[in-house]
Amino acid sequence: MNDRYRLVRPLATGGMAELFLGIAQGAEGFEKPVAIKRMLPHLAKDESLVQMFVSEARLATHLHHQNIATVYDVGTHTAGLFLVMELVNGWDLGVLMRHMARRGLRMPPHLVAFIGAQVLAGLIHAYRRTHQGRPVLTAHRDISPSNILVSREGEVKLTDFGIAKLEGISHGTQPGVFKGKPSYASPETVRGEPATAASDQFSLGLILHELLGGVHPFHDAGDPMGVAVAIATRPPPPLPEAPAPLAEGVMRALSRQPGARFAHPEAMAEALARYLSRAGEPASSNTLAAFIAGLELPPTLLEQDTPSDLQMNATTLGRGLKSPPELSHGFEIHIEEPPAPDVLPVRSLEQVAGAVGATASIPKTQPGLRHLPREALAPEPAPLAPSAAPDAPEVPLELAWGARPTATAEDEGARAPLAAFPEQRAPARRWMGLLGAVALLGPLLVLTVPWLQDLRPHWLSKEQVIAYPSLSIESHPEGARVLVEGVDQGKTPLVMDNTYPPGEVSVQLTLPGYKPWKGTFTGGAPATLDARLQRR
């Protein structure tokens, strides 16, 4: 059966598997480009990791939906276990977000709602699947831009169920283990609590907020550690420029308490559907495809390779092809010259999916595009570097807190500023192609129990709190409603943590029978306000 698949070239390596562009072969010369994910050979001796890899394959047999990237086959070979997956002719959502950010553009709200509804449709299908009367999946646990694929035709597909919380057909989730990307985690999972469908809802809310606002809602927190702290301790900022019904739905999904979010994913999907029905703008795969076409994105993987190229480079699965080196958590990469023709560049999936051609441009007058103010843009993160130690402890790229990448002069001159998204990705290189939104390189690297044990006593335990500056607000008379940046914070007298970003923060006090009082304070610093209200 393994002769049915041929490897064309390696695409990426993660903590558990390596990803290849491949060809599925059939009768009468049938050929189809596919993605082949193969477990790293040196990990095949670890029974728990093998079980995790097999669990993903088992889950895939239960998921068949237009909004979920398809897994076609699973098999074994002398080279190890492998999955054969759908190769989507497009990009992951993170590529689109960075491409728009470089040009100061935002996606129209009705298309943001459409993407959210499509992701929810895939999730709802996964949640509803059962095996022997029990749910197959209770949480995806890694809803993030890199796991949402958007095709040239405007299809939206959810991918990478490799670390999903499974029930009934697998070993499930180890207590106290956080898996996923901290920048798109929910407050409860950051605290080490079990992931649920409500956790996935929060993660999707972060993505929709980022699409509407142009930057991650906690981008001011800096590195992923700071973002995780902010997610667990701060409310997200409002979305004043977004349509009110859509903004309200997104903010509800981002409630810090799971019980305050939508009761179930169907309810959130219905809220998005109601907004779309009243928006007066067509929202479909066709309109999303038209919007994407106007972005002039770089070629997808399938657009880079002709069938003859695939045939010429193909190698039978597991035969004569060495495993590419693993990529760990190093930063900074220096490439003096392009690799020789017979040497294939191997990058992490984050690097490949994030590679965007520097020559791509945007038409000056593109319908449906909204321009961001230039001050909202920040320099792009520098690329990640490969590590040569195959048995080094795997650490999530997002969690290498101490490293501060620097960009080369060549990079600075070749690209426009990019919004500082917490989910860091590598920029394009001269020889780098764009991965056409390949379904699934996972399970992603895992943030394990020692991390939680080391950090929770310092910033997540119930007994201790973060030492933020204090904000004290009083009024005469007392009992005035306090609105900070338009968000209700309670009544005076009020003492709260000043977790707001540096700069001027607006506050308003209202009390029946009195004129509204307006003022400001400096975010991130100790502040005291004493308002004397005047009668109407």
User: Residues with catalytic annotation?
Assistant: 142
Count Cα atoms within 13 angstroms, Cβ side, for 193: 16
> Using N-to-C axis directions, what is the helix angle for 244-253 and 109-128, rounded to 10°?
40
CA–CA dist 133, 139 (Å, integer): 17
Residue 209: C-alpha distances to residues 203, 256, 405, 499 (Å): 10, 14, 27, 19
Contacting residues for 409 by C-beta, under 8 A, at least 6 apart:
none
Show the DSSP H helices in 332-462 as ranges. Answer: 349-353, 409-414, 449-455
DSSP letter for each residue of 283-337: -SHHHHHHHHHHHTPPPPHHHH--HHHHHHH-EETTSS-PPPPP--S-B-----S
Angle (CA) 205-279-153 rounded to 5° is 70
CA–CA dist 344, 284 (Å, integer): 38
Across the strands, what pairs with 510?
A: 481
Centroid of chain to Cα 50: 25
Element (H, E) at 91: strand 90-92
The pairing of strands 470-476 and 527-532 is: parallel
Side chain identity at 522, as an amino acid letter?
T
CA–CA dist 502, 430 (Å, integer): 38
Centroid of chain to Cα 23: 28
Contacting residues for 322 by C-beta, under 8 A, at least 6 apart:
none
CA–CA dist 524, 466 (Å, integer): 13
Q: What is the largest CA-CA distance in the chain?
A: 87
Buried b or exposed e, range 130-144, using 16+ CB within 10 angstroms: ebeeebbbbbbbbbb
